[in-house]
Amino acid sequence: MITLTIAEIAQAVSGRFDPAGSPATESDVVSGYVETDSREIVDGGIFVAKPGEATDGHRFVSAAVDRGAALAIVEHTVDTVVPQIIVDDAVTALGALAGEVIRRVKASGDLTVIGITGSNGKTTTKNLLNAILAPDAETVAPKNSFNNTVGAPTTMLRVTPSTRYLISELGASGIGHIARLAALATPDIAIELKVGMAHAGGFGGIEATARAKTELVESLSEDGIAILNRDDHRVAAMASATSARVVWFGEHADADVRASDIAVSARGTTFTVLLADGQSATVNFRVLGEHHVMNALAAIAAATELGVPLDTAVARIESVTRAERWRMEVMGGRDGITIINDAYNASPDSMAAALKTLALITEPEQRTVAVLGAMSELGEYAGDEHDRIGLMAVRLGISQLVVVGPEARRLHISAINEGSWAGESIYFETADEAYDYLHANLRSGDTVLVKSSNSVGLRFLGDRLGELFS
């Protein structure tokens, strides 16, 4: 974080300073990283004691101090010798501090903020854009999928006076969430990837999801750039909601950054990228899955708008070997058994894309095995969407469907009703039962996809299988 006095921090978060038995004064300066997890605190850091669903951050102020915290932002004074700023709401204070830091750095430096949103692909696009930009200039990007009211501000607070690019993932589970995050970061460039069924239960449907995602482009000034997916009609409609200049990406003939000649294999995806000015390049993209081509196009579009030469952007994208931990992560290899661990998250769109990839990359003589768990946060749409995935697995000719967990059982029933019988679809209550079955029944040459929402935990099953066949 930039260097601020305790007084400046207190003013930014509308808080009250309490030395709490320490010799600190309001004129003391703090510049360490800001964390809400006491285990992540390093010497000189700021600990924000955030109340949580399972526990209360105020219980861990002492632990944060032991790890070197120089300041705590709290909702009530804690009996620990560390200077404290008392606020009404710790999460609100975290956001306010992030907004103040971004404002100051933008005013005095050369910071460009790139905001990324979409129902799928945010983390992959963030990683690809970071891979392109970071070799040339100081770039701050989220760890993992830090994109909510806590994670996004925590990332913003990592900027320094010399930061050139801030890549901010902006997630939401309701109307107004992205608008609030965008107000903190004031993006210069907005990337809109896709409007899909992810979190549709919380939003109240896909049209409400589209409305929420539109908030990012609405936050742009007329000097900004909106990078929009031309292939998604809901994203394309966002062009009318912004005064910023629009840059299109996709396979559509009107796209400014366009992909053609897409070829998918077990080694990745090859495609040609074409720019509106006539430049083109062949991309040997090692991240598995045709659906990640759109994420690559979005990253290339942003990078070229920022002045990165096309050949440089392509070379740096080609150096990326996986989207992220637990995202189409290729594991295994022993006895020709490949494990694709894609169980960090799941929505109907990403589930369908992963299944299509499994079918595309497998040779006719090889078996395809899909180990699937529930897709969460779909609300009233959950039943129909699990039905659709069960039907798709059968129609794609997946050799073996392994369904795990009660919330996904309808997927198994739908597959059976569609014509998957005699053990082609099998159901287990737990991941341990599924592991035992797969351990005993996988055979040489099998390609196995493990896919579920994060809350289901099948990513750990994927890890176990990857280790087993490594």
Residues comprising the binding site for ATP? 118-124
The neighbour count for residue 332, using CB atoms within 10 Å, is: 22
Burial (Cβ within 10 Å: 0-12, 13-18, ≥19) of residue 252: middle
Q: Which amino acid is at 122?
A: K
H-run or E-run covering 246: strand 245-250
What is the full DSSP assignment across 77-96? --SSSS-EEE-S-HHHHHHH
- The DSSP H or E segment spanning 71 is strand 71-74
CA angle 419, 422, 424 (to 5 degrees): 70
Nearest Cα to Cα of residue 301 among 143, 139, 192 = 192
Sequence-ordered alpha helix ranges (H) in 17-147: 61-66, 90-108, 122-133
Tokens of 49: 């004691």
Task: State CA 380 to chain mean position distance.
Answer: 24
| Token pair in block for residue 50 | 């955030």
- The CA distance from 223 to 186, in Å, is 12
- Which of 350, 354, 265, 276 shows the shortest CA–CA distance to 310? 276
Q: 191: closest CA among 213, 210, 212?
A: 213
Give the other-Cβ count within 10 Å of 319's Cβ. 11
Q: What angle separates helix 310-318 from helix 292-305, to the nearest 10 degrees? A: 140
Q: What are phi and psi of 73, to 5 degrees?
A: -105, 120
For the annotated binding site, the residues are 118-124
